[in-house]
Amino acid sequence: MAATDSRTYASLVDELVSERVTGHRRERLITPAMQWGIDHEPVARAWYSRQSGNHVEQVGFVRHRSLGFVGVSPDGLVGARGVLEIKCPQPKAYSETMARGCIPTRYVWQVQGQIWVCEREFADFVCFHPSMGGLVIRVQRDEARIARLQARCEQIEREVQRRIAGNPPRRKRTPAPSSAWPRQSVPTHVDQPTPRSRLSLSDVPLWLWLVAAVVFWYWVMR
């Protein structure tokens, strides 16, 4: 949802094009803060279930019903109407969320996207720290935001497809033989090498005889 003229937007499109062309996704570095969240997510999910009395169904990657290029990875489904999103921030970020009592702005589009794709009515946003406690913030479905999100996803997909069509991946091709290629002719006969004839005395020119005679006479007279 970044501005279309921003580096963030351009970088996302570049990444998607690269993944589509190569078939490989970019590996992302897991920071210590991210690993902290991964390690404590099961504890936060269990805490939420005890506090709310709701059963949480864990799911994997969920694709949009009709837009196959859109998908989300929620932290769970809550009953038949809700979705669960868990964040386990460091103490400072946890205290800020507790003080505000509302979902941080940077997670708004993520949460609405999960509600949209999973076709739910609300999301329970959980902010949890193992030694400081937890907070549950219920976020209702926002049709206006979802419409904007869908329009932007479709816009990015068009851009990705346009880029791929304009820059198809180069593949090594073996050229087919053509009439322009040099062809090896099949010989109809084999030429045998002509044997070298021996040199006879009659073939020696006269001037050479004269030179030889002078040299011989000079050598004898010495």
| pLDDT band at residue 222 using 50, 70 and 90 as cut-offs | low
Distance from C-alpha of 149 to C-alpha of 120, rounded to nearest angstrom = 15
- Is 54 part of a structural domain of the chain? yes
Is 211 inside a domain boundary? Answer: no
Task: Say if 175 falls within a structural domain.
Answer: no
Does the residue 189 lie in any domain?
Answer: no
Q: Check if the beta carbon of residue 22 is closer than 8 Å to that of residue 43.
A: no
The average pLDDT across 83-94 equals 95
Band (pLDDT 50/70/90 cuts) for residue 68 is very high
pLDDT higher than 80, residue 51: yes
Domain containing residue 120: 28-155
Pick from 33-42, 73-82, 200-209 the range whose average pLDDT is largest.
73-82
Query: What is the number of alpha carbons within 13 Å of residue 133 lying toward its C-beta?
Result: 6
For residue 178, tell me if it sits in a domain: no
Note whether residue 13 is domain-resident.
no
Report yes or no on 172 lying in a domain: no
| DSSP helix/strand/coil, 83 | strand
Compare 126 and 217 and report the one with higher pLDDT. 126
Higher pLDDT, 188 or 199: 199
pLDDT category, 26, cuts 50, 70, 90?
A: confident
- pLDDT band (50, 70, 90) for residue 201: low
Which H or E element spans position 61?
none
Out of 40-44, 131-135, 170-174, pick the least confident: 170-174
Residue 185 has pLDDT above 60, yes or no: no
> Total domain count for the chain?
1
User: What does 29-80 look like in DSSP terms, one character per residue?
Assistant: ---HHHHHHHHHHHHHHHHHHHHH---EE----EE-SS-TT-EE--SEEETT
Question: How high is the pLDDT of residue 186?
Answer: 41
Residue 187 reports pLDDT greater than 50: no
Query: pLDDT confidence of 176, banded at 50, 70, 90?
Result: very low
- Beta-bridge partners for 76: 84
- Which positions ≥6 away from 113 have C-beta within 8 Å? 72, 149
The CATH number of the domain where 108 resides is what?
Answer: 3.90.320.10
Question: Does the pLDDT at position 149 exceed 90?
Answer: yes
Buried-exposed string 106-123: b where 16+ CB fall within 10 A, e elsewhere? ebbbbbbbbbbbbebebb
Residue range 138-165: average pLDDT? 97
* Structural domain includes residue 102: yes
Tell me the chain's radius of gyration from C-alpha atoms: 41
Least confident range from 90-104, 144-158, 175-189: namely 175-189
Mean pLDDT taken over the chain: 85
- 50, 57, 118, 126, 183 from 74: Cα distances, Å: 19, 10, 9, 12, 64
